[in-house]
Copies of this chain bind each other. A is one copy, B any other.
Amino acid sequence: MKTNHIAILGATGVVGKTMLRVLEERNFPLTKLTLLASERSVGTIMKYKGQDLMIELACPEAFTGVDIVLGAVSNEMAVYFAPYIKAANALFIDNSSAFRMDPKVPLVVPEINPDDAFLHKGIISNPNCSTIITCMAIYNLARISPITHMFTATYQAVSGAGQAGLDELLNQTDDFSHDHALHASIFSEPILHNIIPQIADLLANGYTSEEMKMQDESRKILHLPNLKVSCTCVRVPVLRSHSIAISLQTYEPITVSEAEEKLSHTIGIIYSNHDLPTPYKTSNQDLVLVGRLRPDLVFQNGLSLFACGDQLRKGAATNAIQIAELFI
């Protein structure tokens, strides 16, 4: 398969911009790079390795000759463009959640289930950001003994809601220190100095779609179809990097020292039990920090731990580009 002509679909959003930076940093072996966005961004210039690249219109004809499309658009737009990407014979690595649970679509974290990627029929989905970070922290523990149950509570950055979420927190920070009133439009109330315990819409079972992804997508990535996950997703006033408090139960007991040994040799994470995983430490890089490892006090064969990673990089852009690298 040729992999030289890459397109970023949605190049002007926070994830799209991060994809551009990560392609450059990793010196991705591309021969042509096409940046696609909606009409209002057409003509805008973005830099790639010092060169000017002009944004082109994301339209059905835009994919001719493209080998891999990195998708950083909404579910609606991903569904709309998918048939045109397929018709152009390009591989669609999609960051939206539109196709993630489709049994024909692999859901891939390259450190965990790279082989799944090669079963694709034109689309590979990039998992949910909090789910990627959580799975990075636990996948090697699941290889000692399968994880059967998991509790997760998240601390999710505003950039999970895109550039507009980021701008809203930055504006509120500024307004607060100038004694101005705080305006909320992206979030349901001011997010500065606050937290909001709901991300995305509520489903019939009382969980949000964001919360159910933690169970459904973890099952698919970790090949644990019976894994039970109870998740609470909370927005916190952090610019980037999502954090997750995790308690898990395994089929057979894993001691803390076995787990420490395994986590210390896990690709893609840095495990430390004195250095705390925080958004400040993890922002703008690709590693997931894991710490606070201890026996869980509720689960029989249980461990508790804490993970934090940059959800725009490993939780989105970098993971998508790592998937693309599998095809080089």
Q: Which positions in A face B, CB cutoff 8 Å? A: 149-151, 153, 155, 169, 173-174, 176-178, 188-190, 192-198, 205-207, 215, 228-232, 234, 236-239, 243, 245, 247, 256, 273, 276-281, 291-299, 302, 304, 306, 308
Cβ of A295 and Cβ of B195 under 8 Å apart? no
- Cβ-neighbour of A245 out of B197, B237, B273, B304 (below 8 A): B197
Cβ of B151 and Cβ of A169 under 8 Å apart? no
A177-B177, A298-B149 known; A276-B228 Cβ under 8 A: no
In the complex, what distance in Å separates the CA atom of A295 from the CA atom of B205?
7
- Known pairs A173-B177, A177-B177, A215-B297. 17 more at Cβ < 8 A? A150-B298, A151-B298, A155-B195, A173-B173, A174-B177, A195-B243, A195-B279, A206-B273, A206-B293, A206-B304, A207-B294, A228-B298, A229-B298, A230-B296, A232-B245, A232-B247, A234-B243
Q: What residues of B have a CB within 8 angstroms of the CB of A281 in the complex?
A: 189
Nearest CB to that of A150 among chain B residues? B298
Cβ of B155 and Cβ of A304 under 8 Å apart? no
Nearest CB to that of A236 among chain B residues? B236
Interface pairs (11), CB distance under 8 Å: A169-B193, A173-B176, A177-B178, A194-B238, A195-B238, A196-B278, A205-B295, A207-B294, A230-B296, A236-B237, A237-B238
Cβ of B151 and Cβ of A292 under 8 Å apart? no
CB distance from A305 to the nearest CB of B (A): 9
Number of copies: 2
In the complex, what distance in Å separates the CA atom of A306 from the CA atom of B231?
12
In the complex, what distance in Å separates the CA atom of A278 from the CA atom of B187?
12
In the complex, what distance in Å separates the CA atom of A236 from the CA atom of B308?
14
In the complex, what distance in Å separates the CA atom of A151 from the CA atom of B153?
10
CB distance from A155 to the nearest CB of B (A): 5
In the complex, what distance in Å separates the CA atom of A151 from the CA atom of B248?
11
CB distance from A103 to the nearest CB of B (A): 22
- Cβ-neighbour of A155 out of B178, B234, B308 (below 8 A): B234
In the complex, what distance in Å separates the CA atom of A176 from the CA atom of B192?
13
